[in-house]
């Protein structure tokens, strides 16, 4: 059983996969800081549900993580809720198409800032707090970090960088801290419209022939946080077997 008052900061946790991670860690006894940028109402509603189950166990922090100069204060506020920080989950992410030959610098920068720069500097800001608790970091990457997604080159590059960051930090921060990643496959469809034919084409390349669900990712994160004491520098694909094929 985890000691009381262990705390986790999950970025992009108001909705979708991030919310599932927050709920799963909370169910396992962790207090959670639910970060959001704009989805304040959803984040607050999630925290109210979690607090109803265990009073005083969930808090909301809103911030644009691209403002790296404010990250030290952001982490300090998160740690202040329960006197420290045990877990950082870098889940917040941007996803949109970038066609080679038509990609603007603004589109490139937006993806790198959200998916790589912010996690790097957030890890750096959280490091002193995590070291005090011998905590851990889990980054949410993507199976397309290793096998680029056509039409989404800048996104794939940003997630590949997050894989490299995971491995570099695992080496550099050991033995005090563990750093791992989870690479989702077809878990949730993009928020843009996706037709039935496109869905069928994607699932035809998934050996399990079905999409996963956000809790599949959340359970993998919980494993890496709570049960993987001898695991660091790894990228756990949760993709129904999709990454077995090119």
pLDDT of residue 103: 97
CATH number at residue 130: 3.40.50.720
Q: What is the pLDDT of residue 246?
A: 65
What pLDDT sits at residue 2? 45
Asked whether residue 52 is assigned to any structural domain, the reply reads yes
Decide if 1 is inside a domain.
Answer: no
Cβ–Cβ under 8 Å, residues 14 and 36: yes
Under a CB-based contact definition with an 8 Å cutoff, are residues 28 and 219 in contact? no
Could you give the strand order of the β-sheet that contains 31-36, starting from the edge strand earlier in sequence?
Answer: 58-62, 31-36, 7-10, 87-90, 136-140, 178-184, 235-238
Report d(CA 220, CA 50) in Å as an integer.
20
Q: Active-site residue 155, yes or no?
A: yes
Q: Would residue 179 count as lying in a domain? A: yes
Q: Report, in this order, helix, strand and coil percent for the chain, each rounded to 5.
A: 50, 15, 35
For the chain (246 residues), the mean pLDDT of every run of 10, in chain order, is: 75 97 98 97 98 97 97 98 98 96 97 98 98 97 93 97 98 98 88 76 88 96 98 96 84
88 bridge partner residues: 9, 137
Flag whether 81 is in a domain: yes
Q: Are 180 and 236 in contact (CB under 8 A)?
A: yes
Q: Does the global pTM surpass 0.75?
A: yes
Report the distance separating Cα 29 and Cα 27, nearest Å.
Answer: 5
H/E element, 89? strand 87-90
Number of structural domains found in the chain: 1
Question: For residue 206, is it within any domain?
Answer: no
Q: Tell whether 59 is covered by a domain.
A: yes
Which pLDDT belongs to residue 1? Answer: 40
CB contact at 8 A, 129 and 79:
yes
Task: Give a yes or no: residue 159 inside a domain.
Answer: yes
Record the tokens describing residue 117, joined without a space: 């720069």
Note whether residue 89 is domain-resident.
Answer: yes
CB 116 within 8 A of CB 136: no
- Report residue 58 as tokens: 């969930």
pLDDT in tens, 115-141: 999 999 999 999 999 999 999 999 999
Residue 123 · residue 130 · CB < 8 Å: no
- Confidence (pLDDT) at 36: 98
Among 96, 155, 223, 230, the active-site one is 155
CA 231 from centroid of its chain's CA atoms:
18
Question: Which range of residues forms the domain containing residue 127?
Answer: 7-183+215-234
């Amino acid at each position: 059983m985890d000691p009381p008052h262990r705390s986790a900061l999950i970025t992009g946790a108001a909705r979708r996969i991030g919310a599932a991670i927050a709920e799963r860690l909370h169910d396992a006894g962790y207090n959670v800081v639910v970060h959001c940028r704009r989805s304040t109402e959803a984040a607050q509603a999630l925290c109210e549900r979690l607090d109803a189950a265990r009073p005083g166990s969930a808090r909301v922090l809103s911030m644009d993580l691209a403002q790296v100069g404010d990250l030290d204060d952001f982490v300090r506020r998160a740690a202040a809720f329960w006197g420290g920080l045990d877990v950082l989950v870098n889940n917040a992410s941007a996803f949109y198409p970038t066609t080679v030959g038509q990609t603007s610098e603004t589109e490139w920068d937006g993806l790198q800032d959200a998916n790589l720069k912010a996690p790097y500097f957030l890890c750096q800001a959280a490091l002193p707090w995590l070291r005090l608790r011998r905590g851990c970091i889990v980054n949410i990457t993507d199976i397309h970090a290793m096998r680029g997604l056509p039409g989404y080159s800048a996104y794939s590059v940003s997630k590949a960088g997050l894989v490299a960051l995971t491995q570099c930090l695992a080496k550099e921060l050991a033995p005090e801290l563990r750093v791992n990643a989870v690479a989702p496959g077809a878990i949730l469809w993009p928020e843009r419209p996706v037709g039935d034919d496109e869905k069928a084409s994607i699932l035809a390349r998934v050996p399990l022939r079905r999409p996963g669900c956000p809790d599949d990712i959340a359970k993998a994160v919980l494993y890496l946080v709570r049960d993987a004491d001898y695991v660091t520098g790894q990228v756990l694909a949760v993709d129904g077997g999709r990454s077995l094929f090119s």
